[in-house]
Amino acid sequence: MGLRFIFMLTRNDRTVEDASKQLQTALRLGVRHIGFKDIGLPTDQLMALNAVIKAGGATSYLEVVSLDRDSEIVSARAAAEIAVDVLLGGTRVDDVLPLIAGTDIQYCPFPGRIVGHPSVLEGSIEEIVESARRPRRGRACMALTCWLTGPRKTFQLL
C-alpha cells in the first residue's frame, strides 16, 4: 500500500462548502488521493465530488467522523451510497464490513481507543498495537496517522 498523502476537502471535521473549487485546484496540481467527510455537504454533492475525483484519475476517501456506533453505521452507508474508493476511520469493523460487502470499497478502520472530537487515539503503544493485530473478518486495513497530543506521542499504526 505504501504511504499516501490524502488531501482532505475539510475543515473542522466537515467537508467545506467550496469543496468543488478546491478539488479542481488539487486535481490540477496532480494530487491523486483526495478525501472528504460525510458531514458538511448533502449526499448528492458528495456524490458529484466523488465522480469528479475519479474522473480526474484520483482515489476518493471518506473519513468517518463518528464516535458512536449508530453514527458510524450512517457513515458506512454513506460511503457505500457515494461509492468512494476507501472508507477511513471508525473502529466498529464487525458492524461496517457487512454494509460495504459487495462493493469495491477498501476499509481502513482506526486501531486503539478513539475519544473526543476532534478524535484522539488513547492507550499505551502496546494496547494500540494489540488492537491492530486483533483478527478481523473481511477486507480491512489499519489507517496510519502519527501526531503529537500534548507532551505525549499518540500513534495509529498500519
Say whether pLDDT at 127 is over 60. Answer: yes
Q: Which amino acid is at 87?
A: L
Q: Tell me if 13 sits within 8 A of 118, measured CB to CB.
A: yes
Say whether pLDDT at 117 is over 90. Answer: no
**CA count, 13 A, side-chain hemisphere, 3:** 4
Average pLDDT of span 100-127:
81
Say whether pLDDT at 17 is over 70. Answer: yes
Q: Of 87, 95, 78, nearest to 137 (Cα)?
A: 95
23, containing H or E segment? helix 19-28
Average pLDDT of span 120-126:
78
SS3 sequence of 25-63: HHHHCCCCEEEEECCCCCHHHHHHHHHHHHHCCCEEEEE
pLDDT tens, position by position, 58-103: 999 999 887 789 999 999 999 999 999 999 988 888 899 999 999 9
Distance between CA atoms of 107 and 149, rounded to whole angstroms?
Answer: 25
Q: Tell me if 53 sits within 8 A of 25, measured CB to CB.
A: no
Average pLDDT score, the chain = 82
pLDDT tens, position by position, 146-157: 333 333 333 333
